[in-house]
Amino acid sequence: MNQRKHNTPLVEMANSPPKRKRQPQGENRITAPCPYFKRCGGCQLQDRSYQDTLLYKDRLINRLLCAFGTAKPIIGMKNPWSYRNKSHSAFVHDKRLGIQNGLYEEYSHKLVPIDRCLIQDERADQIVATIKSMMKSFKMTAYNERTGQGFLRHVLIKVGFKNHEIMVVLVVTSPMFRGKKNFVKALLNKHPEISTIIQNINDKDTTMVLGQREIVLYGKGYIQDSLLGMTFQISAKSFYQINPAQTEVLYETAMNMAGLSGTEVVLDAYAGIGTIGLIASRDAKKVIGIELNGDAVKDARKNAARNKVTNASFHNGDAGEVMVAMANQGTKLDVVFMDPPRSGSTKAFIQAIGKARPKKVVYISCGPDTLARDLGWLKEEGYTVKEIQPVDMFPWTEHVECCVSLEK
């Protein structure tokens, strides 16, 4: 990457794991430290040493992507615990046990009561425990899925790891919240670290956590956090990477792969709240961010203004259509960053990349199987894989984030 024109340090030693010795294929199983390991299913690899989980992921990536080259060793975490900045606890009414809260068992809708999740921020678990203890005195009922009765369905908490701001979202079935002022006062008295409290109304018979309507009960209705020297606004509904320490490693990797020199026109597809595009703007001539979620686009524009970025613009629309339109107009496009959901991209989008003909594509993937499919489509459009770098964004789970650079 070119000499950086800003003072943000590269994230290297703080999150780099010790060098790993290659071991035989069979992992040595250990006793999982989490007492809910066998029931929850969220951390599929907790019965192995952390080193073994990294070796498992190395082999997975190389098996799935072997047609495109050999991946570099995965970048792990120095401390792979309490890394999640977002936690979600479901509340239900049990006829025998009363109010219960926890996580749903993997691939089911069966609640596993959990007091402490070892990969979530401990402050979030403490706040959830306080809310549960307050419910009886405030005559708050938990949701009953069979009858559709009850008030509190979920508690969603987001934490700013660097800015230390905390958002609490109470997902309830009704906008009527009796005693809400006293409830908020009591919660803040026990947890003054909370920055904002939001009442989200979800009165639908759905598995979706959040409803459309929100009422801010305390604070600004959003929190802020910093990544690589930039500040981002995070709302209840906005997507933000759940592991801030490894996100910095991932985004530095992506920027190094792009090799921006200050002359490039960059497209940030799947832009979200603008994290990748705004970080790239420091080393690019111009950044165009495209996102289908209108709320995320609003957040991205606010984030651009907050960070005083003037060479990046964000638009609501389909990135593939934008690339085709730019190609038809003869607009030059140098680099495309793409960070699709786990389901991957679409062939239409990949074909649009082929039409726009950017020199480089930097693909950030959280699904290596769909990544393999999409790299095949990019190969059909004349792109060659130059580098594959896995990053352990989700320690103790089977999920692997991977950053891939391609050139025309």
Calpha distance 221→401 (Å, rounded)? 30
For 179-237, how does the pLDDT look when each residue is reduced to its tens digit (9 = 90+)?
999 999 999 999 999 999 999 999 988 888 999 999 999 999 999 999 999 999 999 98
Q: Is the pLDDT of residue 366 over 90?
A: yes
Domain 86-227 has CATH 3.40.50.300: no
Decide: 82 and 122 in contact? Cβ < 8 Å. yes
Q: How large is the C-alpha radius of gyration of the chain? A: 22
For 326-335, how does the pLDDT look when each residue is reduced to its tens digit (9 = 90+)?
888 888 899 9
Calpha distance 74→345 (Å, rounded)? 23
Q: Is the pLDDT of residue 372 over 60?
A: yes
Question: What integer pLDDT is reported at residue 382 of this predicted model?
Answer: 97
Residue 261: DSSP 8-state: -
Q: Is the pLDDT of residue 18 over 50?
A: no
For the chain, domain boundaries: 86-227, 243-407
Which percentage of the chain shows pLDDT scores above 90? Answer: 81
Q: Is the pLDDT of residue 14 over 50?
A: no
Decide: 271 and 289 in contact? Cβ < 8 Å. yes
Other beta carbons within 10 angstroms of residue 206's beta carbon come to: 9
Decide: 261 and 359 in contact? Cβ < 8 Å. no
Does residue 366 have an active-site annotation?
yes
Calpha distance 267→252 (Å, rounded)? 17
The two tokens of residue 48 are 């192995």
DSSP 80-134: -SS-BSEEEEEEEEETTTEEEEEEEPTTS--EEE-S--TTB-HHHHHHHHHHHHH
Residues 6+ apart with CB under 8 A from 205: 148
Calpha distance 182→164 (Å, rounded)? 25
Domains 86-227 and 243-407 in one fold: no
CA dihedral sign of residues 230, 235, 237, 241: positive
Q: Is the pLDDT of residue 3 over 80?
A: no
> Which has more confidence, 109 or 37?
37
Q: 243-407 belongs to which homologous superfamily? A: Vaccinia Virus protein VP39 (3.40.50.150)
The identity of residue 309, as a single letter, is V
Other beta carbons within 10 angstroms of residue 16's beta carbon come to: 13
Q: Is the pLDDT of residue 107 over 90?
A: no
Average pLDDT, rounded, for the chain: 91
Calpha distance 181→118 (Å, rounded)? 32
3-class SS letters over 27-54: CCECCCCCCCHHHHCCCCCCCECHHHHH
Q: Is the pLDDT of residue 306 over 60?
A: yes
Q: Single out the catalytic residue among 117, 366, 402, 403.
A: 366
196 phi and psi, to 5 degrees?
Answer: -155, 145
Mean pLDDT computed over 240-250 = 95
- Reported confidence tier of residue 27, pLDDT bands at 50, 70, 90: low
Winning range, highest mean pLDDT, from 1-15, 29-43, 249-263, 313-327 = 249-263
Calpha distance 228→207 (Å, rounded)? 35
